[in-house]
Amino acid sequence: MQKENLKNEKILLVETTNEGILRALLSLFKKTKNSVHIRHLFYCTTRTNWIQIRGFIYRCFYSQSFHQLIRPEILSQSVQDQFARLLRSLIEDKSDQNFRIGIIIATTIRNQHLINGLRSMRIVDILHMNKNCILVTSRIPGLGKSTIIRQTIKKSNKKDVKFPIYGDFDVDTLAERLRSKYSQLQTGDIHLDIGTTANSQQLNEILYCLLLFRNFRFGYVTVSVPAETIVYIELDASPDATLNELPLFQHITPSIIVEKVDWTSLNIGNKEIQAVANYLKAIHTKALMKQDVNPSMFQNLDVKTCSRLIQGPFLPKKDDNYIASTQLPIFVAVFHRLFTGFSHCGYFLVGSVPEPQLHLDRVQILLASSNQFTSLSVEAVRKQQRSATSGEPTTFSDAIVRWDTIQPFTLVFTVSDEPLFVYKKPTDVPQALVKYFKFCYDALGQNSMMQTTMFPNYITLGHDKLFLKLDSLSRKYFKKSICPKCFRQYDFKQQKCDKCLSKDTLILPKSFDHKDVEQFQFDIAKKLETDYVLTRDNFIKMLLIYMRIQSGIPVLIMGETGCGKTSLIQFLCQKVLDEDLEIFSIHAGVTADIIINKMNNCIHKVQTYTNKEKRLWIIFNEFNTTPNIGLLKEIMCERTLLGESLPDKMVFLGACNPWRQKTTKILRNDNVYVGLRKNRYAMGVGVGCEFKGK
């Protein structure tokens, strides 16, 4: 509570809202150091008459105790006029009389007859309620609520103290976490990120006391929030979210309602955004036809320019009503990886072809084809969410991006910056791109090799040749010793594997000659074929997963039980690459504490890595079977754990089974009332929240 002036303090006037009346009257009692007494409160109604008001005035003037008048603006004009005249006459008769009155109004003080009369006596001190609670909501998920809160706090030169609350939280654990943040809150503002919780009533009590009294007793622990700390509340906007139904939020008007993506809040300090915008500028101005683009040429572009350049390829073919800020990080991450590859790959240099226009056309074709992977999955989730909200039936095939209905064409870059194109059939490759690479191979005198090397028909390739293609993503089977049992890589001088129980000697190529290395890779492929066979489909899926991981985007895979989701990731992670893998099986009994402890163990593990390129892949298997899905969303998408950043060496993937509504036949069988009816879904899974990119 802040004062407009401090001269007399005979009448303390507070301008607030209906929702803030309780806080205002409690604040006045605290400010005047008086105990709260119900008999010291007078709440006006439309039926309040002059006799009652006159009695209140005499009581305040002569009792020398602090009384409060609430909502006097709804009194009739005649009563308000008599109020001012009586108080003026009492003051004139006994000017040395000490008295104090608190007045709380729920409208603006402008043009208030009573207030104007009292202010003319110069006895009114106006107090303003600090707006220390800001509720932020959005029409749909993913519109950037967190970004808005972070930027607002940053503008006030305070620290953003994020405090997530979701799932089956433990009260005492929550209290300890909040108490540990107190020193930060003295110089910062708190950001309460609230998702679906198991105990909504308990959440309502906690928030009510923290917002109103700034302290609360959690079990055996008492915690408090500094009075000057602003509390930002971000509510989950998923279709199945019920937070708005909490009694507390029925009486708090949202301060910020996010309706659409705010392009003016684009973080131009992000190096990836600046790099993508500069590359798009080179394409737009056709500077790419004359010279190669590299970071040394980049300029610091302003928000307006960055937004305009990125919106060009980003907005087309997207529903304006459902564009989300979650799509933008995916777009930027994928395109930044492509542009980085372009600048390092010899095939994409300006001098590689004699026709500059062909060089520009090639880049534009690749960008247009890759753009589908920045929106397909998000658009599918949007469709599923809208269907769930409206109650319309949505089949499994319509609710996800199906492999058999899309025609992917993009590229990934190998460890040596060679392009590896992703497509189902050679006919999916744009002819302009084929023409471009024909120029390149003609210049090298290798035209006959172009089709088989750059654009092979993956259907005709067997397991061993597909493995050689995948092996180009890393240098695992080039100059390293390999364990023939677990296929981990070691320095070529090491003789034994120190991870598995195998006593076999590590194997490696006969020499570093190209033919010997290739033969070694074929031998490895045959050994791996006994456990996992590569086909065109799982080969291309691995490339798409690899592309997202290299771009820093979490990977979610949905499929029926036993379709090979986990085995595909295991093969890519441990056999093709040389990464560590942690499979975390999620189910309804996995609590938030279990997830947090597991993540802390993983953090400790990656902190021991000495190899800069080593990463830990973590698969959350059946991630949509836990009520703590909000915690998993924070880990996978925001890359934080309880508001604290996670190491870059951690890679997150999720696998889940589809959910669908029960058929009419199953519902009829439910009506026999045998056992306990769970719900109307065929599986006990949660409707997945929208996962967003880095």
Is residue 441 pLDDT above 80, yes or no? no
Whether 175 contacts 206, CB under 8 Å: no
Q: Which two tokens stand for residue 378?
A: 């998000």
Residue 268: what pLDDT? Answer: 87
| Three-state SS at 101 | strand
Residue 428: what pLDDT? Answer: 83
Per the model's pLDDT, the better-predicted residue between 318 and 157 turns out to be 157
What phi and psi, each to the nearest 5 degrees, are found at residue 504? -70, 150
The closest alpha carbon to 79, from 46, 121, 42, 40, belongs to: 46
Per the model's pLDDT, the better-predicted residue between 669 and 580 turns out to be 580
Helical (H) or strand (E) element with 310: helix 303-314
**Strand pairing partners for 482?**
489, 507
Whether 656 contacts 688, CB under 8 Å: yes
Relative orientation angle of helices 327-344 and 303-314, to the nearest 10 degrees? 90
Whether 160 contacts 153, CB under 8 Å: yes
Work out the average pLDDT over 210-214: 80
Residue 534: what pLDDT? Answer: 93
Band the pLDDT of 446: cuts 50, 70, 90. low
Percent of the chain with pLDDT strictly greater than 90: 26
Which CATH architecture fits 133-260? 3-Layer(aba) Sandwich (3.40)
Residue 693: what pLDDT? Answer: 39
Report DSSP state, residue 653.
Answer: E
Which CATH architecture fits 2-128? 3-Layer(aba) Sandwich (3.40)
Q: Which two tokens stand for residue 327?
A: 């799509």
The closest alpha carbon to 233, from 181, 191, 188, 174, belongs to: 191
The chain-wide mean pLDDT, for the chain, equals 82
Q: How many CB atoms sit inside 10 A of residue 404's CB?
A: 7
Which CATH architecture fits 554-670? 3-Layer(aba) Sandwich (3.40)
| Three-state SS at 75 | coil
Residue 390: what pLDDT? Answer: 54
Is residue 660 pLDDT above 50, yes or no? yes
- How many Cα atoms occupy the beta-carbon half-sphere of 57 within 13 Å? 20
Work out the average pLDDT over 489-501: 83
Band the pLDDT of 3: cuts 50, 70, 90. very low
Per the model's pLDDT, the better-predicted residue between 467 and 501 turns out to be 467
pLDDT digits (tens, 9 = 90+) for 393-407: 554 444 454 555 666
Is residue 53 pLDDT above 90, yes or no? yes
Same fold, 133-260 and 554-670: yes
Question: Domain segments of the chain: what residues?
Answer: 2-128, 133-260, 268-314+322-458, 463-533, 554-670
Is residue 692 pLDDT above 70, yes or no? no
CB within 8 A of 403, min separation 6: which ones?
A: 537, 541
Per the model's pLDDT, the better-predicted residue between 304 and 670 turns out to be 304
Residue 358: what pLDDT? Answer: 73
| Among 23-27, 193-197, 218-222, 411-415, the least confident range | 218-222
pLDDT digits (tens, 9 = 90+) for 160-194: 999 999 888 888 888 889 999 999 999 999 999 98
pLDDT digits (tens, 9 = 90+) for 106-138: 887 777 888 888 888 888 887 765 567 888 988
Relative orientation angle of helices 327-344 and 356-370, to the nearest 10 degrees? 150
pLDDT digits (tens, 9 = 90+) for 625-644: 888 888 998 999 889 999 89
pTM of the model: 0.75
